Amino acid sequence: MNQDILCTCIDPSGVFICALHEPSYKVVNLRRTETLAVLGHDSDGNAINNRVNFPRGDLVINNAGKVYEIPNAFPFWGATYILYDQAEQFSKDPKRLGFRRSDEGSGRRSPLLEDLLNGRLKGSNERAYSLKDLPRPVLLSLAQTSRDSRLLKAMAHLACKFELDDSGNPVGVKYEYDELGHPKPVLFDQELFDVIGNNMACPYNYKLAMVLIPGIQGSSPIVGEYASGCKTHVWEYLRADSYIPWGHYASNMAHDCVRYRAAELLPDDITGLRHLYYQRVYTQMAVNLDIAKGISREGRNTLPVAEIESMRQSVLKEVAKRLESGEGLPYTATLWGWNYGFDFSPSGYRLHASHQQIHQQFALIPPNVKSVDTGGA
């Protein structure tokens, strides 16, 4: 069964249409520099670094995670993408697929609030309350809205295990290993960690250790970069095993170019974010159309505007040629979107996942996809 652009999951025959992407692809590495750093250490003192985030040479992604594409019953509502492995797990236990309230412990009485309501709140000399006495929704609300750096620092230590220098300042986080042997930060509270790390008032050295330094949020390789003067610096990440197949790219403001509000964006920032989008789209199209001569080269760097424009014109000519001859195209659409930051409801319903400041996300979409119901191509 051939499915061009999927518009609805309902077929007139009564069949439920669900597509399956099984992506493999090549990525041209256009990153200019490296920011190698030690992210922290494990319990044995072994250093965990971010070398994996700065690969050398182009990347070949073979057999990336399979992804279901489920068009909405109403065409104007688009489609949903979900990782195949996750979908299979959820199908075995559907109750796992849903929101989890973060105030599960709200039924417990808080001694702090009980004393407050009954006039028994004592001074620090008689009893020292800690932040742990706060109800969880209150703690999360403070983490989201507080602008008190001292309070945010104290809460940060409830969220993860830091590595500290002689002055007590964070220089990294402690690491442990998951069931597959992959290193991961030691987190006491994932939601609290995400909220504090995305609070603009969180001190920079804490934010750097928690979410900003490349590699702390995962092993996604950095395959592009844009820098202008000393104020604009943007990384382009590849999320290889994302729910968006065929290459899910994200242009993130870098660790040395902090932007948490749209009002903070400079014109050069916007130029950089858009430059990386156009550069990636036309580069990947050129590679897949086999007209990418000279793109893969030593001393890779951000392509100048004139080179991108020349590539765009070459891509348009090749696309027109293939359409005229009836030959297929590798990609016929793009996904693109902004993320202007992070927000969180203390009730536990997440509005956005944890993201590294303001960023753009984009991907290329193929014209055809395998339909699961028949297995046809």
Q: What is the DSSP letter of 358?
A: S
- Tell whether the model's pLDDT for residue 305 goes beyond 90: yes
Q: What is the mean pLDDT of residues 317-334?
A: 94
Residue 317: its pLDDT value, please?
96
Residue 41: its pLDDT value, please?
96
Residue 374: its pLDDT value, please?
42
Length of the chain: 377
Which residue in 177, 221, 198 sits closest to 40, CA to CA? 177
- Tell whether the model's pLDDT for residue 2 goes beyond 50: no
Residue 110: its pLDDT value, please?
61
Q: Tell me the pTM.
A: 0.84
More confident residue, 218 or 101: 218
More confident residue, 377 or 136: 136
Q: By CB neighbour count within 10 A (0-12 exposed, 13-18 middle, 19+ buried), where does 194 fall?
A: buried
More confident residue, 54 or 295: 54
Q: What is the mean pLDDT of residues 326-337?
A: 91
pLDDT band at 293 (very low <50, low <70, confident <90, very high): confident
- Tell whether the model's pLDDT for residue 207 goes beyond 90: yes
Q: What is the mean pLDDT of residues 212-232?
A: 92
Residue 1: its pLDDT value, please?
43
Task: Look over the chain and give the mean of its residue pLDDT values, rounded to a whole number.
Answer: 85
Q: What is the DSSP letter of 164?
A: E
- pLDDT per position as a tens digit, 345-371: 777 666 555 556 788 999 998 988 888
Q: Please name the residue that has the structure tokens 């290889």.
A: 240
Residue 227: its pLDDT value, please?
94
- Tell whether the model's pLDDT for residue 145 goes beyond 50: yes
Q: What angle do CA 159, 160, 166 make, to 5 degrees?
A: 125
- Tell whether the model's pLDDT for residue 376 goes beyond 50: no
pLDDT band at 48 (very low <50, low <70, confident <90, very high): very high
- Asked if residue 331 lies in contact with residue 251, where contact means CB atoms within 8 angstroms, the answer is no
Q: Where are the beta strands (DSSP E) in the chain?
A: 2-3, 19-21, 25-27, 38-41, 47-49, 59-61, 67-71, 79-83, 162-164, 170-177, 183-185, 222-228, 232-239, 248-253, 333-339, 359-365, 369-371
- Asked if residue 9 lies in contact with residue 18, where contact means CB atoms within 8 angstroms, the answer is yes
Pairing of strands 59-61, 25-27: antiparallel
Q: What span, in angstroms and rounded, lies between the C-alpha atoms of 79 and 83?
A: 13
The CB density around residue 192, as the number of other CB atoms within 10 Å, is 23
Q: What is the mean pLDDT of residues 83-108?
A: 72
% of the chain exceeding 70 in pLDDT = 84
Q: What is the mean pLDDT of residues 247-266?
A: 91
Q: What span, in angstroms and rounded, lies between the C-alpha atoms of 47 and 39?
A: 8
The alpha carbon of 121 is separated from its chain's Cα centroid by a whole number of angstroms, namely 43
Q: What is the mean pLDDT of residues 122-133?
A: 71
- pLDDT per position as a tens digit, 146-171: 899 988 999 999 999 999 999 999 99
Residue 255: its pLDDT value, please?
92
